[in-house]
Every structure is written in C-alpha cells, then in structure tokens.
Amino acid sequence: MARRPARLRGLARPDDLLARVRWVFAVFNLGSLAMLIPLLVGRAVDGRPADLAIVVALVALAAKYRAELRGRNWGAVGDLAEGVVLMGAGVAADSPLVIVLLLYARIASRALDVSGRDAALVSAWFLAAFAGAIALSSPAARSGDTIIELIFLGSGFPLATLVMHSLGSALKQLTRGQAREAMLRKGTSAVALAGDREGICLAAVAAARNLVETHGEAIACLALGPPDDMVAVAVDPGQAGPPRAQRRGLAPLSHRLRSSLSDGRPVRLTADEAQALWPAEFGVAACVEAVSLRVARAGAGTLLVGTASPLGGESKDALATLGTEVALALDGITLNEELHLRRSEERLNSLIQHSSDIITVVDGSGQVRYASPAVAALLGHLADGIAGTRLVEWVHPDDAARIEAALNVILTQPGVGSPVEFRLRGSEGSWHNVEAVGNNLLDRPDIGGVVITIRDITERRRAEDELRNSERNFRLLFEANPQPMWVYDAETLVFLSVNDAAIDKYGYSRDEFLHMRITDIRPEEEIPSFLAFLGDDNDRLRASDRVRVSEGWHHRLKDGRIIDVDVLSHRQEFAGRPAVLTMAQDVTARRALEEQLRHEAFHDSLTGLPNRALLADRADHALARARRGGPQPVMLVVDLDGFKVVNDNLGHAAGDQLIAAVAARLGAGLRGGDTAARLGGDEFAVMLESVESVEAAAEVAQRIQHLLSRPFTVEGGEVTVTASIGIAPGRPDHLAMDELLREADIAMYVAKGRGPGSHVVFQAVHHAARLDRIRLRQELREALAQEQLHVVYQPQIDLRSGRVTAVEALSRWQHSTRGAVGPDEFVPVAEQSGLIGLLDGWVLRTACQQLRDWTDAGHPPLRVAVNISGFDLERPDLVDHIARVLEETQLDPWRLELELTEGAAMSQQEDAAAQLHRLRALGVRIAIDDFGTGYSMLSRLRDLPVDKLKLDKSFISDLGRDDDVTRIVRSAIDMGHGLGLTVVAEGVETERTLRLIKELGCDGAQGFVIAHPLPADELPRWLRESPWAALPSLSAAATARVQPRG
C-alpha cells in the first residue's frame, strides 16, 4: 500500500479535526480544478489556442495544492500567482462564476493555517482576482442581473475569511489540547511504570519538558527535599541530551514561593528567584515555572520547568496534574521502601535470634551493650549476664591483651576489621575457640557501637588438626608406599611430586620427574587416546570423590622398556592447585599370566591347538552365520589308528610327542579359515567353515589322511599311523556344535569299523548304529550285573609231551534277542565304557572257581589263563583283589596264569612292572599275550617278571608261506628261550602249522587244530576222549617254574 503524504498521516484519528477539514478543502479544490481544466481544454480546441496556457497554469496550481497538503507552502508569491491564474481561468471561461467556489474554498483553506493579517491579505488578493475576472469578461458575462450577483458573491469573501480563520484557531487550540492530554497520559504512565525513585524522576522531567515544548525549547528539573534543602535528582536538558540523573544541591525556596506553591498550582519564578534556583549549567530559560510535589512520606519536592516563553493556563494545568501523579508515585515508592525496610528488620531480627553465631554490640569503652541469644547455646551464659560487662572479661587471659589491642584498633577505624581468633570462657570453665569480626558502626545513631560477630570454630580447629595429621599420614604413606605414586597438575599435566618407588621403578631422578609431564612416560602411539581419555576421566573425577581405576595402559621406563600398568587416580588439591593423585601398579607379569591362562582356557596345552571350548565357540558362530544365509560348516573328527599301540609300547612321552607332531602337521595342512582342535587323547576335530560340497569335504579328509600317513619321528625312530575320519555336514537344524560333533564322531566310529585309514560321511543310519552301540553298552552292564555271560575254555598243549597243560578262560555272551555276541564286539564296548574291570574281575572269579570245582571232582590239575587289561594294571588294589579271589576259591597261586597284551605290559612301565612284581611274588604266573604286535624292546621285556610269551596268531598263520615270517618266529622263540621264558604259539589251526612250530622249537601251542573253546561242562569229557590228555601231575614242574629268575 502506498504511503500517505506527510500532512495526511494520522488523519484516521477521530480527534484530528483540523486535518480532516484541510483534507475536505483539498479534495474540493482539486475536484474544482478537475472540472475546470476540461472546460478550458474544450474551448481551446474550438479555436482559442491561447487558453492552453491557462490550462498549463491550472495543472501547476494543482501541484501547489498537493504541496500544501504535504506541508510545503509556496508563500505570498505562490498566493499571488494563484490569484492571477484563477483570474485568467475566469476570463478564459468568459464566466467569473466558474471560479467563485474555488476562490471561496481557497480563502477558507488558507485562513485555517495562517495568521489573521495573512488571512486578510489572501482574502483581498483573491477578491481582486475575482473583480479582475469580472472586468475582463465579455459584456454578455456582465449583464445587469449577473453583475449584481457577482458583486454580491464577491462581498462574501471577507466574511468567509473571518469565519474560517476563527474556525482554524479553534481547531488548532483543540488539537493542541488533545496532544497535550495525550502527552500527559503518556508521561503519567511512564511515571507510574517506573520501578524506583530515580526512574520516576527521570520519567517526570521528560514528561514535563514534552508538555511545554510548544513554548519553545524547554528544560525540566526535579528536586527532592524540604524547601530549605532541595537536591536536584533529575534533569532533562532538551536538545542538549537525554534525561539524566543528577545529585546537586539547590538554593532554598523563598518565602513567597513557599506560600504560593501551597495550593499546588505552578508559580512563575521572579528573575531573582530564577537566578538563585536555576543553575547556569541547566541552560538558559527566559521563564521558569515551579510545581510543588506534595509527597506525604518523603518530604517536599519541586518540579522546575524553564521555557523560552511564559506558559499558558492549559500548560500549567497539565504540569499541576503531572506534579500530582509524580507525588503519588514517589509516595508509593516510599511506602514500598518502608514496608521492605520493616520486613528486612524483622528478618534480620529473626536471623539474629536464631543464628548460631553470637552477635554483640560493644560501645567505645569495650562494654557489651547487647548480646544475641546464641550466647546461651555456645557458652552456656544468658545474654543478660553478658550485657553490661566488658568483653575482655570473657576472653582467655593469654588472649586478653591481643583482643584489647584489636578492639582499640577497630574503634578508631570505621568499617569492617580483620578476623581474629581467641578463646572464650564457657559456663563450666571450658574454653571455646572462636573467630570474631568487628564492624565499626559508632557513627550510626541507631547502633552507636561496634557490631562483633563471634563464631565457634572449635570443631573447625579440631578438623584442621585432624587434617594436618591426615596430611602427615598421607605424606608418610605416599613416600613409603612400595607402589609408584605421583601427583600431577590437572591442567598442565606436569608432575608435582613423586615418591621413591616411582623413582626406583621408572629410572628417572626426582628432578627429572618434576620437569616432565605425565605424557612423557607414555608410548607415543598411546598419547592421543590417553589425552582423550584424560579429558573424560577428569570430568568423572570432578563429579565424584571416588578413586578411579584405569586398566589396559602402558608406561615407558627411562631405559625404553614398556610395562603394563593399572592406574588408580583421585582428584584433590595440591599446593592450592587442582591435581590428581595417581598410583601405578606394574601388572606386566600378571597380564602375561592372564593371557597365558586365557590361551590355555581355549587351547590344548600339549599341541597348542584350540580345545573343545574354542571349537564350540567358532562352530556356534559358523552355524549362526549359516542360519543368516551363509555357507554351512562341515565337521571332521579325526582319530588315529594304532596310537594305543605306540602309547602302550613306547610310553606316554612318546605318545605325547606323536600327538604334538600330528597336530603340527594337521594345522599346517588346513586353509586359513578352517579350525583344527584337539578333543582329547588321539582324537582331533577339524571344522571347515566354507566348503562347496560334501565331496569337497571328503577331499579335505583324504588330504589329511595323506598328510598323516607319512612316518613320524618319535623317540629317535620312525612311527607310522593312519587316521579314521568321520565327516558331518552342517544342516539348518543344527543349533550348536555338540550336534554336529556328535554326528562326526558317529561317522568316525563307522569309519574305524571299515578298517584303518577310512573316512565316512555321516548318514542317518549311522546314528541308529551309534544308538545300538549305546544300547549294547547298557545291556552289557545289565548282563554283568545279572551274570548272563559265561566262560569257555580253550586247551593249551605242551609240544614236547603232547599233553594239555593249561586252559585259557574266554568270555562269551549269549544275548536273549541278539543271539551270540562275540568278544570282538562287546569287549571294545567294555573298554570304552569302563566296564572292562568288571568283566575281567567276573571272568577271573568264575575261572578260578571252575578250576577249583574240577580239582575237587578229581580231574587232572590244570592251570587256567585269564586275560587282564591295562585298566586292571592301573588299579592300586589289583594284587589284593587277586589274592582275595585265590583265597576264596582255595586255589594255589601257581595254577593261575595272568595274560596281558604286550602294549599293556610296556605302558606305564614303572607302575606296570611294580604291579607285575607283586603278582609274581604272590606266586601267580605272568604271560605276554599277542606278542609281536607291539613295539617291545628287549631291555624292557627283560625287566618284567614274565614267565611265558604267546606268539600272535598273525605270525603263526603265515608260517610256511612267508620266509620272513618264519625267520621272525624263529627269532622270537630264540629270544624267549634266551630270556628263560616258555614260548607258546596262538592260532594254530593246521597240522602243518603245528609241525612247523614244533620244528622251530616252540614250547606250546593253542588253536583250533587242538580244540575250539569248550564250555565248562564239556571240557572234562574232551580231556578224557582227546588224544591230548592232560598230564597227570603238574605240581612239581609248576613249583620249579614259579621260582623267580635268578
């Protein structure tokens, strides 16, 4: 929207009547021109081109009217030119009547704003212009009646001028009154809204100056105080600057002014009064008016206003009203101050009454004039008992002179003195440590003394003593602490103090430390993270008094070594500065041990491979990735074939050496993402995290078998083993490693059943076989408990005599549903499940009792051979158990022969040898079974109390077909004889084999060619009918054979 002309702004206000009248005349004038100009333009077109000049002049006249509305007056020259133009317009129109209304309007609008003289001149000039237009018009325009009308119209010009000038004066006066009223309202509002006395005064002088500025440049001043002691507090110098607060004394009011101001009306000062009251620095004022402020609670006040001309009645009325509002506002401020003072005094009195500090007032002689009630709580004295006495009477004698001197000093020096400490006497003769501060208020009439505040500092003294003791103890603990400690500046990080332990540990001298920052003992690569941590840690230390423990940091010693440290920090003040107390503990050895323990917790100690726990973690993660769409892992279980033979014959040290070598070869042969782990014993697991197919996993298994098939160097010799491997591919239903590992383990046992060096991929049917094996184990346990097994006996013959000398007791199991279960099936189950001890013990007792029964029945006396396992040799009660069985069955020990495998005899050599020696001492015969399948050394065999060697049937069956085997058997027989042992061949199944072993010098034979294992009730009949009849008596030979070798 376009902005209105300056003279038209604000015309929308209903009280701006003068502007509205001007606007009406302006619109009329411009409208008249708008109608006159087309008339003249038409006449010019009809053949009077000279009239165009008049049209141009009228357009210029419209610009003059518009300029007047904007506040620009063209002056008398403009009015003269206007009259000429209007006269020309009347002549051009040939009718003076066309300009008469416009002349009337112009006379009226000009008479509103100019003085009476100027209005008369304008009226006369426009009347002359009208007369000129009449005179220059055509005769027709001046006809009889017309000229009379024109004269009558022209005679009204002076009357219109008089009326409009009077109306303008009235409207101006009304407008000024409205403006003054608005300024008065604005001023009184500012006074009322002021928040303090100074604000009221500044608002008052500004309002006063605005009210009278129509009388020329004005200056206002407000003074407070009684008439004879006024002080100017606010001045508004007008154009010289903004209102300002000021404190300046003024001359007393004259007697005339005092009496004249009593009615509240403004009074003009005389020249002498103005000269006395109006300082020159306020500015020059021709007239000075004074307005009395009737302030009920603050004494008199006066508002002074200086102007260039005397004030009118309306201005004086406005100033009187302003004075009344200012007086009311100052009165309200005074009332609020009094209320505030009263509340403050009540609050102060309440504080004094309830304060734990003693408030006393001491006069100039040192006498106590007042003591607060706190004296009773602190000293046990009544306040009235203290008042009227001298203060030093209650002071400890050793402090009295010092307090007297301090009191004299403060009595001579106004203001607050320095704190002093002394002792005051209590009601029961006790002394209290106090601190006192005095404030000299002798010049205050309402106090007239020294106010002394006394505070009990007994507890503070005690705390300070404790703090000093604590600091002494801290210093002692700091210096004597065996752990490195230091204090560093929390801002600069500079060392402030270090103890001897830090000097000894880090290698720096104390002086070197105190020129270093704590970052100087940090590895360079750790400094950025340490500084970032330090900023956060300092914030935490500021927010808490607790000790902060920081772990996982490193420190650098002077010699360059890096140590692991745990740091304890506590924020405290040191020498007035924020500091941090730190203790560092060298945890390098502990961290190494923890790392070792962490490694051992997840790795096999012998091989260094991951153990079952770490394998489970990796397998569970691999299965989780597979459930999210990744490849399924494949688990391989690798079991060494023939490891037990190596372990039994070469000892556990050799077995461990072989396991470590297998682990190294296994780990080196896998891809980076695969995991090899040792499950225990000779069993390993390999997890393949990403394989394309089961066939690819089988290829990895073959590669592992190939790697392990190469000979290993163990105990200086070469050992060859094979591996049976079970393969279990992962499936979506596998949730944990145990399921995957169990299936691989089942597949591995299936592979073992197929022969050494096999690998098998798990199938569902394998799981059924595993379950069947588990059921077989349970059924075996039940069979042993219910004695469902039975023993058969296979005869052994002496080749020189051709007679039976002994029988071997063999266990058999006739299952109720499975039928006959062979020993090659249930004996491994017994060994794996720990039932082998029960089985061997049952066979031993059964065989001994059967031999006793045969003897009692009159059958030829035989020996019975019973197998014992390596597990039996590990039993500490083995000898006692056998002795107890022999005693219970009343069997001679020489009739019992214990057979153990070559591997069992060679394993745990010292323990096995000790057990065998005790058995030999008991009288029991010892035989080595399956000789030739192990790794026996002659030196070891020689140290054992062995009576018999039983050659394994794998050698005997090849006699006559393989010359190497024949030579081996001959060597074994010769070796046995060389050691004084009886040599028996097992598995003799043909007459030819029987003849060959006899020719080789073998002492005895056992096999199907002689007899199959027989039940206990059939053996006596076989002995009677067989050509291998039993020897009639073996006691003499047996007695000779059981004697220890010399």
- DSSP assignment of 264-293 equals S--EEPPHHHHHHHS-GGG---SEEEEEEE
- Residue 15's CB is within 10 A of a number of other CB atoms, namely 14
What is the rounded distance in angstroms from the CA atom of residue 218 to the CA atom of residue 726?
116
Q: Are strands 982-986 and 948-951 parallel, antiparallel or unpaired?
A: parallel
What count of Cα atoms within 13 Å lies in the side-chain half-sphere of residue 247? Answer: 2
pLDDT of residue 585 exceeding 50, the answer is: yes
Check residue 436 and give its pLDDT.
Answer: 87
348 lies in some domain = no
Check residue 807 and give its pLDDT.
Answer: 95
Q: Are 688 and 816 in a shared domain?
A: no
CATH number at residue 1010: 3.20.20.450
DSSP H or E segment with residue 700: helix 694-709
Amino acid code (one letter) for 770: R
Which residue reads 């399924």 in tokens? 632
Closest to 766 in 3D by CA, of 819, 728, 722: 728
What count of Cα atoms within 13 Å lies in the side-chain half-sphere of residue 116? Answer: 6
Confidence of residue 547 (pLDDT cuts 50, 70, 90): low
For 647, the token pair is 């372990």
What is the rounded distance in angstroms from the CA atom of residue 150 to the CA atom of residue 573?
109
- Residue 540's CB is within 10 A of a number of other CB atoms, namely 12
What is the rounded distance in angstroms from the CA atom of residue 901 to the CA atom of residue 655?
18
What is the rounded distance in angstroms from the CA atom of residue 541 to the CA atom of residue 445?
53
Q: Can you spell out the DSSP letters for 656-667?
A: HHHHHHHHHHHH
Q: Are 802 and 885 in a shared domain?
A: yes
Q: Are 278 and 306 in contact (CB under 8 A)?
A: yes
The whole model's pTM is what? Answer: 0.41
Q: Are 575 and 608 in a shared domain?
A: no
Lowest mean pLDDT among 431-440, 518-527, 642-651: 642-651
pLDDT of residue 798 exceeding 80, the answer is: yes
CATH number at residue 301: 3.30.450.40
Domain hosting 48: range is 6-175
590 lies in some domain = no
Q: Give the length of the chain.
A: 1046
pLDDT of residue 517 exceeding 90, the answer is: yes
Confidence of residue 120 (pLDDT cuts 50, 70, 90): confident
DSSP H or E segment with residue 863: strand 863-867
Long-range contacts of 310-314 (CB under 8 A, 24+ apart): 310/215, 310/268, 311/212, 311/215, 311/266, 311/268, 311/287, 312/215, 314/176, 314/177, 314/180
Check residue 8 and give its pLDDT.
Answer: 40
- What average pLDDT does this structure show over 763-767? 74
DSSP H or E segment with residue 722: strand 722-729
Top mean pLDDT of 120-124, 175-179, 347-351, 385-389 is at: 385-389
Confidence of residue 49 (pLDDT cuts 50, 70, 90): low
For 346, the token pair is 């009540």
What is the rounded distance in angstroms from the CA atom of residue 762 to the CA atom of residue 743?
6
At 381, is the secondary structure helix, strand, or coil? coil
Share of the chain above pLDDT 70, in %: 78
Q: Are 251 and 209 in a shared domain?
A: yes
Q: Are 106 and 29 in contact (CB under 8 A)?
A: yes
CATH number at residue 621: 3.30.70.270
Q: Are 747 and 809 in a shared domain?
A: no
Q: Are 560 and 420 in a shared domain?
A: no
For residue range 18-34, what is the model confidence (pLDDT) as tens digits? 667 777 777 777 777 77
Q: Are 754 and 760 in contact (CB under 8 A)?
A: yes
Closest to 581 in 3D by CA, of 487, 655, 482, 457: 487
Q: Are 576 and 622 in a shared domain?
A: no
Q: Are 201 and 282 in a shared domain?
A: yes
At 297, is the secondary structure helix, strand, or coil? coil
pLDDT of residue 829 exceeding 90, the answer is: no
What is the rounded distance in angstroms from the CA atom of residue 430 to the CA atom of residue 426?
5
Tell the burial category of 491 from Cβ atoms under 10 Å away from its Cβ (0-12, 13-18, 19+). Answer: exposed
- What average pLDDT does this structure show over 264-288? 76
CA distances for 727 relative to 676, 689, 747, 762, 766, angstroms? 14, 13, 6, 6, 11
Q: Are 451 and 530 in a shared domain?
A: no
Residue 486: partners with Cβ closer than 8 Å, 6 or more residues away: 495, 496, 497, 498, 499, 502, 513, 518, 581, 582
What is the rounded distance in angstroms from the CA atom of residue 399 to the CA atom of residue 781?
101
What is the rounded distance in angstroms from the CA atom of residue 1014 to the CA atom of residue 788?
17
pLDDT of residue 272 exceeding 70, the answer is: yes
935 lies in some domain = yes
Average pLDDT, the chain: 79
Q: Are 572 and 679 in a shared domain?
A: no
pLDDT of residue 13 exceeding 50, the answer is: no
- Residue 804's CB is within 10 A of a number of other CB atoms, namely 24
- What average pLDDT does this structure show over 838-846? 92
592 lies in some domain = no
Check residue 1035 and give its pLDDT.
Answer: 38
pLDDT of residue 785 exceeding 80, the answer is: yes
For residue range 614-625, what is the model confidence (pLDDT) as tens digits? 888 998 998 889
Give the residue from 762, 787, 807 where a domain finishes: 762
Confidence of residue 444 (pLDDT cuts 50, 70, 90): confident
Check residue 111 and give its pLDDT.
Answer: 66
Check residue 46 and give its pLDDT.
Answer: 58
DSSP H or E segment with residue 552: strand 548-556
Check residue 14 and give its pLDDT.
Answer: 38
Q: Are 92 and 227 in a shared domain?
A: no
Check residue 452 and give its pLDDT.
Answer: 85
pLDDT of residue 302 exceeding 60, the answer is: yes
> Quick one: angle between helices 313-354 and 197-212, nearest 10?
180
Give the residue from 708, 736, 762 where a domain finishes: 762
Lowest mean pLDDT among 234-238, 850-854, 968-972, 1015-1019: 234-238
963 lies in some domain = yes
Which residue reads 């007791």 in tokens? 809
pLDDT of residue 323 exceeding 70, the answer is: yes
Closest to 981 in 3D by CA, of 925, 902, 915: 925
Q: Are 91 and 238 in a shared domain?
A: no
Check residue 639 and give its pLDDT.
Answer: 93
Q: Are 846 and 884 in contact (CB under 8 A)?
A: no
For residue range 384-404, what is the model confidence (pLDDT) as tens digits? 677 788 888 888 899 888 888
Lowest mean pLDDT among 236-240, 388-392, 748-752: 236-240
773 lies in some domain = no
pLDDT of residue 670 exceeding 80, the answer is: yes
Amino acid code (one letter) for 538: N
Check residue 2 and give its pLDDT.
Answer: 43
Closest to 19 in 3D by CA, of 5, 2, 39: 5
Closest to 319 in 3D by CA, of 205, 223, 216: 205
What is the rounded distance in angstroms from the CA atom of residue 308 to the CA atom of residue 311?
9
Share of the chain above pLDDT 90, in %: 22
Check residue 601 and give its pLDDT.
Answer: 80
pLDDT of residue 850 exceeding 90, the answer is: yes
Lowest mean pLDDT among 449-458, 523-532, 718-727, 860-869: 449-458
Lowest mean pLDDT among 472-476, 590-594, 817-821, 1041-1045: 1041-1045
- What average pLDDT does this structure show over 270-292? 75
Which residue reads 């009540």 in tokens? 346
* Structural domain total, the chain: 6
- What average pLDDT does this structure show over 935-951? 75
The terminus-to-terminus CA distance of the chain in angstroms comes to: 140
Which residue reads 């160097």 in tokens? 713
Give the residue from 456, 491, 514 where a domain finishes: 456
- What average pLDDT does this structure show over 1014-1030? 87
pLDDT of residue 525 exceeding 70, the answer is: yes
For residue range 886-937, what is the model confidence (pLDDT) as tens digits? 999 999 999 999 998 876 776 555 677 788 899 999 999 999 988 876 555 5
Sign of the alpha-carbon dihedral angle for 400, 404, 410, 411 = positive
244 lies in some domain = yes
Q: Rounded to the nearest 5 degrees, what angle is found at the Cα of 739, between the Cα atoms of 831 and 742? A: 20
Amino acid code (one letter) for 921: A
Confidence of residue 1034 (pLDDT cuts 50, 70, 90): very low
In 320-362, beta strands by DSSP E:
358-362
pLDDT of residue 809 exceeding 80, the answer is: yes
Lowest mean pLDDT among 55-64, 350-359, 707-716, 767-776: 350-359
- Residue 520's CB is within 10 A of a number of other CB atoms, namely 15
Check residue 152 and give its pLDDT.
Answer: 61
At 947, is the secondary structure helix, strand, or coil? coil
What is the rounded distance in angstroms from the CA atom of residue 150 to the CA atom of residue 130?
9
774 lies in some domain = no
DSSP letter at 684? Answer: E
- What average pLDDT does this structure show over 204-217? 73
Query: Which of 126 and 715 is assigned the larger pLDDT?
Result: 715
